[in-house]
Amino acid sequence: MNELTERVRQRFYGLIHRNPGWSLEQMAAEARCSLAEADQACDALCAVGLLVPSWSAPCGYVTVTPEAALTRLFSAEERQTEAHLQHLARIRGAVASLIGGYPRLHDERRESVEIETLPTPELVNAFLEDAGSTCGVRMRSMHPGGPPPEELVDAMLLRDKEMESRGIRVETLYSRRTAEVPYMAAYLTDAERIGREARTADYLPLRMILFDDDLAVLPINPQDSSEGASAIHGQALARSLHALYDYCWHTSTPLRPAAPAAALAEELDSQDLIVLRMLADGVKDEAIARHLGISSRTLSRYMTGLTDRLGVHTRFQVALRVAELGLLD
């Protein structure tokens, strides 16, 4: 807005307010502007509601207070807005009526797929726990990359045992390098004994876990599993992922069978059996060392050799192996 023009408008507003008996020509002379400029100033003041035309006023206008002008402007805008909203409502109703009168042909070719985002490892683990508890027929998992932390192995075996007790078929694929890590080799051997079928491959394309035929869990970022995962509900995509899994499964290598239980049992002497029973009963290492009359360091070396012969790494795996060999009978 031109500063000079605004000053002329303000002066005209004051002249008309203070001199209601003056003509427009008198006000133009007082304001030292042309009659055309005076008309333009009055038009601008009328546009914002500060002047209203009046046939009885010599100059043709009367002033309106700024407060009243502002109120009138807002009232006019509100009326226009309300009228516009009513118009939109009529259009919306007409469109809804039109759409409702035709079959939704595109929807007939669509299957429902719901994607649930799990942005943190904690949410992923909680979701997998719930999904495993409600799984009804089978769970299939594919694990490229490195092994999980060793401290998680016992929890993994417990989960496998629980699923096996419910008759759930469990298949798992690991990279060959991961399966060669000693504690993972022991885990996979023990897992197979309690109902899980495991295989290895040189290359696996994607980390995924499939529950039954309608749920898949995939990483948000395949390069970094710490960024969370997506849970995909629906058979449409799950079927394709099962097909990919089938291909990887049939091109993978089954684990080598474990040594026969009877052969392992023959290698154990009476002291070995005592220690194994104590481990299976949860007796602490200090108590076992006192019972054998040896130091804790000697017991540690002895335990390492014993668990190596059994092909296990944790107390829980020892308990499973002892039960398999029938040493608790």
pLDDT in tens, 36-59: 888 888 898 888 888 888 888 898
- Per-residue pLDDT of 11-38, as tens digits, reads 888 888 889 889 889 888 888 888 888 8
Query: For residue 129, what are the CA distances in angstroms to 68, 125, 225, 316?
Result: 67, 6, 17, 20
Q: What is the mean pLDDT of residues 75-95?
A: 83
Q: What is the mean pLDDT of residues 198-217?
A: 91
pLDDT at 7 over 70: yes
Mean pLDDT rounded to a whole number for the chain: 81
Q: What is the mean pLDDT of residues 91-98?
A: 75
pTM for the full predicted model = 0.49
pLDDT at 201 over 70: yes
pLDDT of residue 189: 77
Q: What percent of the chain has pLDDT over 70?
A: 86
Instruction: Taking the CA atoms of 287, 292, 294 and 296 in sequence, report the sign of the dihedral they define.
Output: negative
Q: What is the mean pLDDT of residues 1-6?
A: 60
Q: What percent of the chain has pLDDT over 90?
A: 9
CA–CA separation, 49 vs 65, rounded Å?
A: 9
Question: Given the DSSP bridges, would you call strands 169-175 and 138-143 parallel, antiparallel or unpaired?
Answer: parallel
pLDDT of residue 105: 52
- Per-residue pLDDT of 312-322, as tens digits, reads 767 777 777 77
CA–CA separation, 157 vs 104, rounded Å?
A: 49
Q: When comparing pLDDT for 94 and 232, which is higher?
A: 232
pLDDT at 1 over 70: no
Q: When comparing pLDDT for 214 and 165, which is higher?
A: 214
pLDDT of residue 140: 92
CA–CA separation, 88 vs 92, rounded Å?
A: 6
Q: What is the mean pLDDT of residues 132-151?
A: 87
Query: For residue 215, what are the CA distances in angstroms to 116, 139, 326?
Result: 11, 10, 39
Confidence of residue 99 (pLDDT cuts 50, 70, 90): low
Q: What is the mean pLDDT of residues 125-152?
A: 87
Contact at 8 Å (CB) between 208 and 183? no
Which two tokens mark 170?
Answer: 């469990």
pLDDT of residue 285: 85
Q: What is the mean pLDDT of residues 266-284?
A: 78
CA–CA separation, 229 vs 220, rounded Å?
A: 5
Q: When comparing pLDDT for 76 and 2, which is higher?
A: 76
